[in-house]
Structure 1
């Protein structure tokens, strides 16, 4: 592992370092003890995928397993933590670990839909090289909040180049040597958590659940401060409506793992716009954008991104702004996975196959998979095709200004705690190759000389800047330029 990745893991700012727990989970998830029978089948499937292609005698065996499931419609998503035991091996051409018998700690995500399994994620490493992570994964009791970073500016790790405009961690991490929280941390955190519970109308089933959620909240406040210290933009991070969720819960419930792993339908490239884009543009001011919507506890961002794009395209071609149905796509797009994720490219294809989209009023959002009840007679909007757009951000801006809002996908790093301002995470923290959330570009501009994209999100108006997210423009931040697309309406 690269040294700078080791540092990020130690800081707890990479997904692999997210704390797991056997404590109560958010609604829609269920936790088990180690021996839960329901985990055996997906765990065996994950082991089979791990051992695929290995010769007899070199295959790993399954040890302890724990995990949870999230159900949505016809599918179940299992998030597993498991120990695997590698047999002794001395032939590096045959075995992945040419050493003596070794135990691995693995994270798996297995999708079970109508009895068919799919491995969405696999992350394994030797237990003895991830002692801290393993302790978090298997330890019982509350998360212990660490008030000091434990690093020294003199450490060689602080001098490693990030290979991102020659920036180094030494420019940013001294900020983390300050006490992130005051000495009377417990009293102040209890007060902040009480305000959070009141503001967001939280209720918990038991004192144990409330105590656990407060510990998660406190850990998240430390994490938000670290993200704040390392951000190069003007964004402010802190308490949001997601602050009592672990990172794993947040990713599983609200994000879209299929974006980075599953290939979608190939689309033709759009004709580029050769005009120089104006210095700023905002389709909200021109009537092409509907109100911010809320996907709820459902990984349906892909549907909201696509309907937002089609709404804008229809407005520009027909002069009428209609709020279109995401629920139709959840129910009737049989290629995508409803609340378990999907791809914009597949959604465009589904709209064409179905014969159009109904409005939100006619086919209202429920945030769960239902029986498809689409009626061609009620369809108010159609599309003729869909196109992939340039990865050049200057060309994207020119296309947006001429042709309307754009469906894009991004890495949602830091968005769990985003409050306002222009976000600009370090590239290693917000890799463009780990995109997991679909959104809508509606405009661009500059704030105090900081260039930004204006992004319509689908987490309601009580998140971010009245439901909007602002991301640095011109640096490929968080992969914003990787998966840009649009419907075509003739």
Structure 2
């Protein structure tokens, strides 16, 4: 079909225009400019540019039209939110052609229906910690690997687990080693692979089976595969066990986080979370936990206290793959339930 005909079809389907007021940070941060919102032609150009930037293609013209409608609806939400001048902003990331229901079904994966099991004899070793630093960033301390991407697999629980294990291993041994999420997906039978799981179960698996292989030796497939524990002659990283942070206690989470990266669960199903692009997030969310991430630090910015959280949606989401989530909210469970289900691996020196 000729380009002019395609553009005409887009024009007939386009129903979204907004007025121009200042945007936070411009195109480089949010992925669109004020000029993009001034006409139907500009919206079409923006969509084509977004497709190119994120290497998007569709099976047929009808699917492209459908995704353009979804894109416009998402852009409208992003722009309306940004004009509220909040402490965070949203952007046209790789999820901009997905409906919110599609996004939730694909990228979340903590199974709170699974009973949380306490490690026998577990305690909270940081209970009596005092004189905590005002800020902590385990990335600067060399205990955090590159941001990874779980893709179309509900394996966030594995990425949360692995990031925490990578952290404690570096703290104890001095070696930062990227470890295998795929091994957990394939071999940890107490969890459900791409269909969700719990970090505590994964910690228990690693401790009881003698360790976790490296990412290079057991690479990520973005789908469930066959367990290959026969790679036993290759390098593994071990932990001795895990401990749970007392529930609904931000003070306890800070104590743990001052000593090592911590696996946490949050409610990430809010629409603003899908398009978070930067700033200190204080958006609307509940505490129905559905996503596993890893807290890797805390600090303050412009009077707002926050947790620094590593996600597993790639480096193009958020702040190069991270989100700063507001703390000191006055709610025991914390923003998006971040204080409800935190845990960390232990490792003997």
TM-score tier (shorter): 0.7 to 0.9
Structure 1 residue 223: Cα displacement: 2.3
Return the match for 2:314 from 460, 464, 472: 460
Name 2:260's counterpart in structure 1.
Answer: 404
Q: Do the aligned residues in 1 keep the contact of 2:149 with 2:314 (CA within 8 Å)?
A: yes
- Residue aligned with 2:323, SS: strand
- In structure 1, stretches of 5+ residues that fail to align are 1-141, 149-179
Q: Do the aligned residues in 2 keep the contact of 1:422 with 1:470 (CA within 8 Å)?
A: yes
Q: Which range moved further: 438-447 or 186-195? A: 186-195
TM superposition score normalised by structure 1 = 0.60
Are 2:98 and 1:245 equivalent residues in the alignment? Answer: yes
- Residue aligned with 1:261, SS: coil
Q: Aligned partners of 1:389 and 1:230: how far apart in 2?
A: 35
Q: Aligned partners of 2:310 and 2:279: how far apart in 1?
A: 14
Structure 1 residue 379: Cα displacement: 4.4
- In structure 2, stretches of 5+ residues that fail to align are 1-11, 19-33
Deviations along 1:391-419, whole A, 9 cap, x unmatched?
Answer: 32233222211x21000011112221111
Q: Aligned partners of 1:423 and 1:332: how far apart in 2?
A: 35
1:419–1:212 Cα change, 3 Å? same
Q: Do the aligned residues in 2 keep the contact of 1:281 with 1:445 (CA within 8 Å)?
A: yes
Return the match for 1:219 from 61, 73, 81: 73
Runs of 4+ residues deviating >3 angstroms: 142-148, 180-185, 225-232
Q: Do the aligned residues in 2 keep the contact of 1:362 with 1:378 (CA within 8 Å)?
A: yes
Name 1:281's counterpart in structure 2.
Answer: 136
Structure 1 residue 217: Cα displacement: 0.5
- What is the total number of aligned residue pairs between the two structures? 311
Structure 1 residue 377: Cα displacement: 3.0
Are 2:204 and 1:349 equivalent residues in the alignment? Answer: yes
Q: Do the aligned residues in 2 keep the contact of 1:457 with 1:469 (CA within 8 Å)?
A: yes
Indicate the RMSD between aligned Cα atoms, in angstroms: 2.3
Q: Do the aligned residues in 2 keep the contact of 1:228 with 1:236 (CA within 8 Å)?
A: yes
1:274–1:195 Cα change, 3 Å? same
The structure whose residues are more often strand, as a share, is 1
Q: Aligned partners of 1:473 and 1:467: how far apart in 2?
A: 19
Work out which structure has the larger RCO, using CA pairs closer than 8 Å and 6 or more positions apart in sequence: 2
- Residue aligned with 1:286, SS: coil
Deviations along 1:180-232, whole A, 9 cap, x unmatched?
Answer: 99985533322221221111111111110000000001111122244446685
- Residue aligned with 2:139, SS: helix
Q: Aligned partners of 1:214 and 1:231: how far apart in 2?
A: 26
Return the match for 1:360 from 196, 212, 215: 215
Structure 1 residue 270: Cα displacement: 1.4
Q: Aligned partners of 1:145 and 1:346: how far apart in 2?
A: 48
Question: Larger Rg: 1 or 2?
Answer: 1
